[in-house]
Amino acid sequence: MPECGSKALLSLRSIDAGAGARAFAQVIVSIETWGRASAVPVLAICFALVVGGCQTDGQRDRGGNVVQLSGWREIPHYEADLDIPAKSRRIQIVQEQTRDNRIILNKYYFPGRQRNITSQRANASFFGELSEISINDIDDFEHRIKYSFRQYYDRHERPQKLSHKARKSGGYIAIVYLNTGKKCIYSAMGYKFLEARYDNDPGAYDTYVHLMYCDVNPPLEEFASLLSTIDVVRDRAAFRSELNRAVIEDMTSESNTEPETDSIYISCESRFGLVSTMRKEICLSLGGKVIR
């Protein structure tokens, strides 16, 4: 396994929509396994069998082709590529990066360190068959666990096979024990979310998702359920409405449980752009912005 910095190469089997021909390309994947602000070095996972080394400048793929990577930017939850923010209301921050305007990478951060989900989706192509074989290989998965946690790894429970309830998918999830006393949930999954649009599409995965969540007692069943039901956001307006309804439910719950006080009621704009009237302390606790 080559030494990698914060980036690793994943094999992509790309489709030329005009010629209908296959060509190999690479996608650079940044997986922040130790959180956004951690002092512990960021570790990367080189998990494709076809990877021969890791680029350090992030500007070219293994074939020498120029790679156009956008910078990571924070986006509203309703602009997420996958519906993960609707599956887990605990998502705090979503970031996005694109590769050549056709590979969409998202990072979904939970509050705290060592808690995030990274997704990458080819919106007009599919990943190589070798990558699909690797993501479904339990030996490869266990090797990724040890490589990811490096010197903090102690042991892990036997991985559980996971599959999506409605889509072609494959991968594993496991509890990992660290020598720091923490337990982590680690998962690597592949999905075929979009229907084949070309004759030479073998039905290979178009999306990969990696999850890491460390805590004293991380909720394995919750994340197993999330990974078996997530999907691409297909109706952006409906997705935004769903998130807004969740915010209102959270606000109502907070209002019903808080004791009556002489707090000031204000107009609050939620992180999803919804404006409501509520007590100032509730607005701020939900990450909202006081507008008047």
Is residue 8 domain-resident?
Answer: no
**126 pLDDT tier (thresholds 50, 70, 90):** confident
Q: Domain of residue 108: give its range.
A: 68-233
Do the domain assignments include residue 129? yes
| 36 belongs to a structural domain | no
Looking at the fold, whether 241 and 228 belong to one and the same domain comes out as no
Backbone angles phi, psi at 267, to 5 degrees: -90, 125
Cβ within 8 Å of residue 51, ≥6 positions away: 2, 8, 9, 10, 11, 62
Question: Could you give the angle at the alpha carbon of 134 between the alpha carbons of 99 and 63, nearest 5°?
Answer: 40
**Minimum mean pLDDT range among 21-30, 84-93, 213-222, 252-261:** 21-30
For 206-234, give the DSSP string: -EEEEEEEEESS--HHHHHHHHTT--B--
User: Greater confidence, 157 or 129?
Assistant: 157
> Of 205, 206, 199, 204, which Cα lies nearest the Cα of 19?
199
Query: Each residue of 2-47: pLDDT tens digit?
Result: 333 333 334 444 433 333 333 322 222 333 333 333 322 222 333 3
Specify whether 94 is located in the same domain as 184. yes
Q: Is there a single domain that holds both residue 211 and residue 94?
A: yes
Task: Say if residue 164 is in the same domain as residue 282.
Answer: no
Give me the count of residues in the chain.
292
Domain membership flag for residue 268: yes
Same domain, yes or no, for 147 and 284?
no
d(CA 205, CA 278): 45
Q: Does pLDDT of 1 surpass 50?
A: no
Q: Pick the closest to residue 129 from 11, 18, 288, 251 (CA basis).
A: 11
What pLDDT is recorded for position 260? 46
Residue 263, pLDDT > 70, answer no
Structurally, the chain folds into a number of domains equal to 2
The pLDDT score that the predictor gives to residue 26 is 28
pLDDT over 80 (residue 93) = yes
- Whether the model pTM is above 0.75: no
Asked if residue 185 belongs to a domain, the reply is yes
